[in-house]
A and B are shown apart, each in its own frame.
Chain A
Amino acid sequence: MDTVRIAVIGAGVIGLSTAVCISELVPQCSVTIIADKFTPDTTSDVAAGILIPHVYPDTPIYTQKRWFRDTFDHLSSIASSTEAADAGVYLLSGWQIFRSIPAEQVPFWADVVLGFRKMTEAELKIFPQYVFGHAFTTLKCETSVYLPWLEKRLKTHGGLLLHRRVDDVWELQPSFDIVVNCSGLGSQELVGDSAVFPMRGQILQVQAPWVKHFIRDGSGLTYIYPGASYVTLGGTRQKGDWNLSPDAEISQDIFSRCCTLEPSLRRACSIKERVGLRPDRSSMLLQKEFLARDGRRLCVVHNYGHGSGGISVHWGCALEAARLVSECVQALRTPALTSKL
C-alpha cells in the first residue's frame, strides 16, 4: 500500500491539532503542514485559550457539545499528567457573571466543565453590579506553549512543517493526495468562501500574578483570564475589521472595564496590546469534498471558521476531520471508486 500524502494548510490550533490527529489515527500516511504563519504569529497565539464554548448558531447543539467534551476530556488528561506544564494546559476556576438574569440559566456545557453551580449571594457581593452568575472550574490552554508542544508531537510522528503561502489548493496536486484546509480566515481567498469574515479582537496582556480566577462578563465582551505568564484582559468584537494594529483608545476602554470587575488590576504593570482576527462564520465548515479539474482529482477536507470558539472545540473537530480524511483515504484506495472518477 502506498503512503497517502496529506497536506494540512494552516498552523494555528486547528491546523496543528488536525495534523496530529491524522498522524496518530490514519495508518500509512505522511503529514505535512504548509502555512505562511507559525506560532507565535498565528491568530491562536493571541487567544487566551480558556475552555468556555462559543455558541455557533447554525451547528446543532449536540454536535457542539460533543466537540467541546472531546476537547475537554483530551486536555483534562494532559492537565493531570506530568506533561501539563510542557503543554501549557491546567485547571482554572472562576466566575461568569451577568447584570441581569439570563434566559438560559444553565448553559449546554454545564456538565462538561467541573463543579458547575450558580453563584451564592455572598459570592455575588464581590461583583456589586451583577445579579447572577456561574461558578465553575475549566481548563486553560496556553496557546503560546500548546502550539509548540503540538508541533513537537507532530514531528515525533514524522510530520513535516513547511513555511509557504498557498494561494490555490491545486498547487498541492499532484505532490499531495489529500488537502486539509485549516486556513481559518485565509479560506476567504483560498477557497473563495465569503461566509468567513474577521471578528477583530483586541486584548491586553498584563502582569498581575495575584489574580487566580477567571472573571467573564456573560456578554463575552469583558473578561479577565489569568495565565502562567500574564493575565489576558479583553476584549472587543468588531465585525469585518481587518486592522491588526492595536488602538490606544480601545486599550484604555478594555483596561477600564476590567478594573471595574477587578479593581486590584489598577496596579497591574507591563501592559502589552495584541490584536487577533477571529475567523468567524455562522457555523464552521467541517466536511470533505472531491474536486476535479482537467482530469485531475483532489480530495479536500475543510476544517475552518471556528470564530471565538476554536480552542474550545479544536480537538473534537480535529478528530472529526481525521475521520473524514480516513474516508478520503478509503475512497482513494478503493479501485472501483478510482476507476469511476
Chain B
Amino acid sequence: MRVVVIGAGVIGLSTALCIYERYHSVLQPLDLKVYADRFTPLTNTDVAAGLWQPYLSGPSNPQEMEWNQQTFDYLLSHIHSPNAENMGLALISGYNLFCEAVPDPFWKNIVLGFRKLTSRELDVFPDYSYGWFHTSLIIEGRSYLKWLTERLTERGVKFFQRKVESLEEVARGGVDVIINCTGVWAGALQPDPLLQPGRGQIIKVNAPWIKHFILTHDPKSGIYTSPYIIPGMQAVTLGGICQLGNWSEINSGQDHNTIWKGCCRLEPTLKNARIAGEFTGFRPIRPQLRLEREQLRVGSANTEVIHNYGHGGYGLTIHWGCALEAAKLFGKILEEKELSRMPPSHL
C-alpha cells in the first residue's frame, strides 16, 4: 500500500504518525512518504505560538468540538511523560480579556479550572472590564514538528522536498492513497473558494518574567486582531494581526508597530524585553475545516484522497482529533479495498 502525505506542518506530520501507528502492522508493507516544499522551521506551524485554544464561538461543525477535546486530552496525558519538553509541551495559565460580558466558551470544561476574573484581577488590566482565567497547554510548533519528524523517521517514513503541482501528478506516480494536508496552499492543488489566508505577524521577545498568556478580544474587529501575549518554552510571542486575503510573506513595519504598541499597553514591562525575531505566517481560514474523502479518477484507476486542511488559527488545538478522524477514513478505505478484492459469492 503506497501512501503519500502532502504537507509537513502539524496536520501532515501528525496525520502521518497516526495512520502509521494504526495500520503499519495490518498493512505489510506500508510505504508511507511525506512530500512537502517546506519543512520545519519554514512551515506555518512554526510561526504559531502554540497555545491550545479554539475560537470563542462554537464551530459550525459539531464534530470539531470532539476533535478539540481529543487533542487536549491527548496532550494533557503526555504532560508528565519524559517526552513533554521535547514535544514542546507545557501547562500554562492565563487571561482572556473583554470590554464587555460575553457568554462562556464551548470549551470551558475541556480546559482546567476555568473561571471568571475577579474585580481585583481586572484592576491589573485597566482597559478591560470582563474576563476569564484558566489553565491550558502550550504545544510549541517548532519543537513539536521536530519531535514528530523524529518519530516518523524512526518508523522508516521518508521525507521528500518537492513542490507538488497537482494531485493527479502524485496519483500518476502509482500512489494508492493521498492525504492532502497542504494547509493554506490547498487551493493550488484544487480550487477552494472557501479557503483564504489569515495573514499573521508575530514578534518573539525575551521576557522570562512573563508566565501567563494574555489574550484580548475585540468583537468588532475579529479573532486574532486584538493584542495577545503568549509565553513559550523559551521566548514570548506577541501578536494581534489577522489580515484576510493578504498573501504577503514579508514582515510589515506597520504591523510591527501595531503589535508592539498594543502589547506594551497591555503589559508595560515589555519595554525591557529584547526582540529575538519577527515572523509572518498564514492561517488557513475556512468556515469549517475540510476533512473528507474524495476519489480521483486518473486514467483508468481511482486514487483515494483524504483532505485534511483549513484549520484556521486552531490547527495545533485540533490536530490530533483530526489525525484520528483521518485515520478512521483511511481505515474505511482499507475495508472497501478488501471488499473489492473479495471474489463475488456464488448465488
From residue B118, how far is it (CB to closest CB) to chain A in Å?
6
* A240 touches B (CB below 8 Å): no
User: Chain A contacts of B124 at CB under 8 A?
Assistant: 76, 79-80, 91
Q: Roughly how many angstroms separate A134 CA and B79 CA in the complex, as a whole number?
A: 20
B135 in contact with A123 (CB, 8 Å): yes
The listed residue with most A CB atoms (<10 A of its CB), out of B81, B117, B120, B211, is B211
Q: Are A137 and B233 in contact (CB under 8 A)?
A: no
Beta-carbon contact of A212 and B231 below 8 Å: yes
Neighbouring A residues of B344 by C-beta, 8 Å: none
The answer to whether A90 and B211 touch across the interface, beta carbons within 8 angstroms, is yes
Does B269 contact A264, Cβ atoms closer than 8 Å? no
Q: CB-CB < 8 A to B234: which residues of A? A: 209
**B143 nearest in chain A by CB position:** A210
Q: Does A40 contact B (CB under 8 A)?
A: no
Q: List 20 A-B contacts (CB under 8 A).
A: A76-B124, A80-B124, A85-B207, A85-B269, A85-B273, A88-B209, A90-B211, A91-B211, A92-B211, A93-B211, A119-B113, A120-B113, A122-B113, A126-B80, A126-B91, A209-B233, A212-B90, A213-B135, A262-B80, A263-B84
**Does the CB pair A213–B118 fall under 8 Å?**
no
Q: Which of B84, B91, B121, B271 contacts A137 (CB 8 A)?
A: B121
- Given A264-B80, A267-B85: A85 and B209 within 8 A (CB)? yes
Confirm or deny: B103 has a beta carbon within 8 angstroms of a beta carbon on chain A. Answer: no
B210 at interface by CB-CB < 8 Å = yes
Q: Are B211 and A213 in contact (CB under 8 A)?
A: yes
Interface centre among A209, A211, A227, A266, by most chain B C-beta atoms within 10 angstroms, is A209
Q: Does B65 count as interface, using CB distance less than 8 angstroms?
A: no
A-B pairs with lowest CB-CB distance, top 6: A228-B209, A82-B268, A85-B272, A210-B90, A85-B269, A263-B80
Of all chain A residues, the one with the shortest Cβ separation from B124 is: A80
- A135 at the A/B interface (Cβ < 8 Å)? yes
The A interface, classified by DSSP as helix, strand, loop or mixed, is: mixed
Flag whether A238 is at the interface (Cβ < 8 A).
no
Please, what's the 1-or-0 string for A69-91, where 1 marks a CB less than 8 Å from any CB in chain B? 00000001001111011101011
User: Is residue B40 within 8 Å, beta carbon to beta carbon, of the partner chain?
Assistant: no
Given contacts A123-B135, A210-B233, contact A266 B268 (CB under 8 A): no
1/0 per residue B107-123: CB within 8 Å of A? 00000110101101101
A209 to B138, CA, bound (A): 13
Residues of B within 8 A of A (CB): 79-82, 84-85, 90-93, 112-113, 115, 117-118, 120-121, 123-124, 133, 135, 207-212, 231, 233-234, 268-269, 271-273
Cβ 8 A contact of A123, one of B85, B113, B120, B231: B113
A264 to B137, CA, bound (A): 14
Query: Is the CB–CB distance between B208 and A209 below 8 Å?
Result: yes
Known: A120-B112, A264-B84; 15 extra A-B contacts, CB below 8 A, are A90-B211, A90-B269, A91-B212, A92-B211, A93-B93, A93-B212, A126-B79, A126-B112, A212-B91, A213-B211, A226-B211, A263-B82, A264-B80, A267-B82, A267-B85
By a CB distance below 8 angstroms, the chain A residues around B84 are 210, 263-264
Q: Does A174 contact B (CB under 8 A)?
A: no
B115→A117 contact, CB < 8 A: yes
Across the interface, which residues of A come within 8 angstroms of B118, CB to CB? 114-115
Bound-complex Cα distance A85 to B210 (A): 9
| Interface contact B208-A114, CB-CB below 8 Å | no
CB nearest to B234 among chain A residues: A209
Query: How many residue-residue contacts, CB under 8 A, span A and B?
Result: 94
Give the Cβ gap from A75 to chain B, nearest Cβ, in Å.
12
Residues of B contacting A266 in the complex (Cβ-Cβ under 8 angstroms): 82
Interface of A toward B, CB cutoff 8 Å? 76, 79-82, 84-86, 88, 90-93, 114-115, 117, 119-120, 122-123, 126, 135, 137, 142, 209-213, 226-229, 262-264, 266-267
Are A115 and B117 in contact, CB atoms less than 8 angstroms apart? yes
Q: Closest CB-CB distance, B140 to chain A, in whole Å?
A: 9
In the complex, the chain A residue whose C-beta lies closest to that of B133 is A115
Q: How distant is the Cα of A240 from the Cα of B23 in the complex, in angstroms?
A: 64
Q: How far is the CA of A213 from the CA of B92 in the complex (A)?
A: 7
Contact B90 A264 (CB under 8 A): yes
* Chain B residues with CB under 8 A of A209: 208, 233-234
Q: How far is the CA of A93 from the CA of B95 in the complex (A)?
A: 11
CA–CA, A76 to B120, complex, Å?
10
B233 pairs with A115, CB closer than 8 A: no
A135 to B115 alpha-carbon distance, docked (Å): 11
Closest-by-CB residue of A relative to B213 is A212
In the complex, which residues of chain B have a beta carbon less than 8 angstroms from the beta carbon of A86?
Answer: 272
Closest to B268 in A: A82
Query: Taking A90-B210, A212-B93 as contacts, is the C-beta distance between A114 and B113 under 8 angstroms?
Result: no
CB contacts (< 8 Å) of B212 on chain A: these are 91, 93, 212
A246 to chain B, nearest CB (A): 25
Please give the distance in Å from B129's CB to the nearest CB on chain A.
16
Are B233's CB and A213's CB within 8 A? no
> Are A228 and B208 in contact, with the CB atoms below 8 A?
yes
Shortest Cβ distance from B235 into A: residue: A209
Q: For B268, what are the chain A residues with a Cβ–Cβ distance below 8 Å? A: 80-82, 84
B43 to chain A, nearest CB (A): 22
Q: Which residue of chain A is the closest to B88 with respect to CB atoms? A: A210
Knowing A91-B124, A123-B112, A264-B80, the reply to whether A82 touches B271 (Cβ < 8 A) is yes
Report the separation of the CA atoms of residues A155 and B163 in the bound assembly, to the nearest whole angstrom: 64
* Shortest Cβ distance from residue B274 to the other chain A in the assembled complex, whole angstroms: 11
Partner of B121, one of A88, A115, A228: A115
How distant is B255 from chain A, measured CB to nearest CB, in Å? 24
Chain B residues, CB < 8 A from A79: 124
- B60 shortest CB reach to chain A, Å: 28
- A229 contacts which chain B residues (CB < 8 A)? 208
Q: From residue A266, how far is it (CB to closest CB) to chain B in Å?
A: 7
Cα distance A115–B134 when bound, in Å?
11
**Contact B269 A84, beta carbon cutoff 8 Å:** yes
Chain B residue numbers with a CB within 8 Å of A85 are 207, 209, 269, 272-273
For A122, the chain B residues whose CB sits under 8 A away are 112-113
Name which residue of chain B comes closest to A118, CB basis: B113
CA distance A86 to B80 in the complex (A): 34
